[in-house]
Amino acid sequence: MLTLSFPLLPKPHLFSHLLRRLSTTATAAAAKPSMDAAEETLRRSLAARTAAVAAQATALDAAAAERELLAAVSGGAGDANGGAGMSREAFRQAVVNTLERRLFYIPSFKIYRGVAGFYDYGPPGCAVKSNVLAFWRQHFVLEEDMLEVDCPSVTPEIVLKASGHVDKFTDLMVKDEKTGTCYRADHLLKDFCKEKLEKDLSLPVEKVTELRHILAVLDDLSAEELGAKIKEYGITAPDTKNPLSDPYPFNLMFQTSIGPSGLSPGFMRPETAQGIFVNFKDLYYYNGNKLPFAAAQIGQAFRNEISPRQGLLRVREFTLAEIEHFVDSDDKSHPKFGNVSNLEFLMFPRDKQTSGEKATKLRLGEAVEKGIVNNQTLGYFIGRVYLFLTHLGIDKDRLRFRQHLANEMAHYACDCWDAEIESSYGWIECVGIADRSAYDLHAHTEKSGVALVAHEKFSEPREVEKLVIATVKKEIGLTFKGNQKKVVEALEAMSEKEAIEMKAALESKGEVEFQVCTLGQNVTIKSNMLSISKEKKKEHQRVFTPSVIEPSFGIGRIIYCLFEHSFYMRSSKAGDEQLNVFSFPPLVAPIKCTVFPLVQNQQYEEVAQQISKALKASGISHKIDITGTSIGKRYARTDELGVPFAITVDSTTSVTIRERDSKDQIRVSVEEVASVVKEVTDGQSTWADVQWRYPAHSSFSADE
């Protein structure tokens, strides 16, 4: 009998580290164009063993290699999240089932079978969201002395025309040629590549490299290139397998009209930032005409997603929290950068992405010093975002900051980083931190005719060469009458480039067509209406358009990732079932504590009411449960809601406080219990601190 020997693969327990690395690679679009060396070894080993089977080798050996590769490529978020070795899909389903059953969130309009991309937050979900936003205000608005505004969701078309959203806020869409069902083209190609990489274990190494490259450049593919790939791979409509149309652009904004006539078009805002930009002049004045300063806004945004999926991660209405930090483009230093410069966390610069490396820990100060991060102010906000997310409860080992590749960068951006959080769906962009230069204020200045500029006063006058636009108001008034002011303002707001082009046209033709946005039309400007020249002048101040650093937070995405990072399972006391637990920090927990009379007893219930009154006076959210259910089951119910502390009334003079994750208990007097819970939930003390001060309590009946 012929016997063959094969090189041994690593033992299965060594794959727990590898599988997360490989599944991360398969899900991050631009993260890793080249194949991981370990995966390449596995694929080549599987191919060798499969070939050996054909030559009468042992089939069991090939099957084992296949199982190991499958685990490495497609397994694993469950382990990282306390899912006891569950697959990503099984772990995700366990989380979602718990969230919906306990009413953290549910599909909107559920009794009418729902509408894709819309979700309602239930009582605990609302509480978590409210706590996250309260901490956001404390961490950013209060700490940085920001100016908070609240602008309308309905936005006139002219505003979004100026910002570029009307013309460019699009995704490429394809249609089922028979049913007309629409799909997002890049998602279909991305899903095809990911499924092949994760499930087709016979793929040759060269094909794997090709599919990884497509994922890396997906955002940079044109409509024609995207369509060609869809045809090349034979991708069809997921639901019907019918052929698909060629990709074409679809604007993601919800259109509406303002007023009953329908003559004033508008849109539901796709972001909250434009409301801040158009108010810059007044905010600058409110701030004492001083830079730098930041304005912030929390509000709803709307995007008519083509095929929303992934629960709270891709929806049609969502909450954004955005900051616009206005700064002099000549000085982007930050006085508090030293507070965050020593932070060290996972960073993924573009050079590591393009060379096929992985994210590594980097000190923030070093990243700014080496020019990896463009400037101190951008770096400062990256550091502050890191602190915000980790204080909420995001696992720092599953949080990274990825720099945009060249093909992702807007033409006007100086630098841009995304805070990405790893979930069962892979790496999810939850916060964008961008240096947008002066693009937005320039765009609105040009379109509105109102100068959105800042001033720097000089200690001594400076001689500069200045473009002078001198309007002849008499001639303009005779021609445009009541519109004279708007025409003059638009002419005086011209950029230097526009003015020079107009001067040349007037000298050659005597007149030129000029768009006045505030009138919504073009007008004819003649040479007798203005003069354009360059003069040397002494100036007492510098007038300039500020740059803006913009951190933009997708609150729903952050909350969903927090749900996954906080979820784990543990065995019941009897060991006959798995109990769900959300390990929310007290900062974001929907309910801070529960109050349980140990048994149904009038004296205990009176003490419970006394404690409840003290908790209310201290502003602590809580819940009383006086049902006759066993104390263990009551603990399990509240652990599933993420309640960090449970107060059990088992005497009239003192009570026990149980901590959710350790299940440790201390004994505290009835008079002190509210103050103890408050100092721990407010972050003044840790649970370990209070354990030192109060006697431990142990009771077999008080466990699950």
Instruction: Give per-residue pLDDT as tens, 470-486.
Output: 999 899 999 998 889 88
Q: How confident is the model at residue 671 (pLDDT cuts 50, 70, 90)?
A: very high
Q: Which of 12-16, 345-349, 375-379, 383-387 has the lowest mean pLDDT?
A: 12-16
Confidence (pLDDT) at 14:
32
Q: Which of 142-151, 174-183, 339-348 has the lowest mean pLDDT?
A: 174-183
Distance CA 288, CA 296 (A): 17
What is the reported pTM? 0.78
Distance CA 606, CA 360 (A): 56
Distance CA 289, CA 280 (A): 11
User: Is 647 within 8 Å of 593 (Cβ atoms)?
Assistant: yes
Q: What does the chain come to in residues?
A: 704
Instruction: Give per-residue pLDDT as tens, 295-326.
Output: 999 999 999 988 888 889 989 999 999 999 99
Question: Among 148, 558, 555, 552, which residue's Cα sits nearest to residue 322?
Answer: 552
Q: Which of 449-463, 570-584, 617-631, 640-654 has the highest mean pLDDT?
A: 640-654
Instruction: Give per-residue pLDDT as tens, 515-527.
Output: 887 777 889 999 9
Distance CA 559, CA 626 (A): 31
Instruction: Give per-residue pLDDT as tens, 260-282.
Output: 888 899 999 999 999 999 999 99
Confidence (pLDDT) at 541:
87
Other beta carbons within 10 Å of 506: 19
Q: Would the pLDDT of 629 be above 70?
A: yes
Q: Would the pLDDT of 4 be above 50?
A: no
> What's the mean pLDDT in 150-175?
91
Instruction: Give per-residue pLDDT as tens, 538-553.
Output: 888 888 999 999 999 9
User: Is 384 within 8 Å of 340 (Cβ atoms)?
Assistant: yes
For 148-197, the three-class secondary structure string (H helix, E strand, C coil) is: ECCCCCEEEHHHHHHHCHHHHCEEEEEEECCCCCEEEHHHHHHHHHHHHH
Other beta carbons within 10 Å of 261: 7
How many CA atoms are closer than 13 Å to the CA of 303, on its beta-carbon side?
Answer: 20
How far is Cα of residue 50 from the mean position of the Cα atoms in its chain?
43
| 3-state SS assignment for residue 496 | helix
Q: How confident is the model at residue 126 (pLDDT cuts 50, 70, 90)?
A: very high
Q: Which of 267-281, 343-357, 662-676 has the lowest mean pLDDT?
A: 343-357
Percentage of the residues of the chain whose pLDDT score is greater than 70: 87
DSSP letter for each residue of 385-449? HHHHHHHHT--GGGEEEEEPPTTTS-TT-SEEEEEEEEETTEEEEEEEEEE-TTHHHHHHHHHH-
Beta bridge partners of 321: 298, 553
Other beta carbons within 10 Å of 659: 17
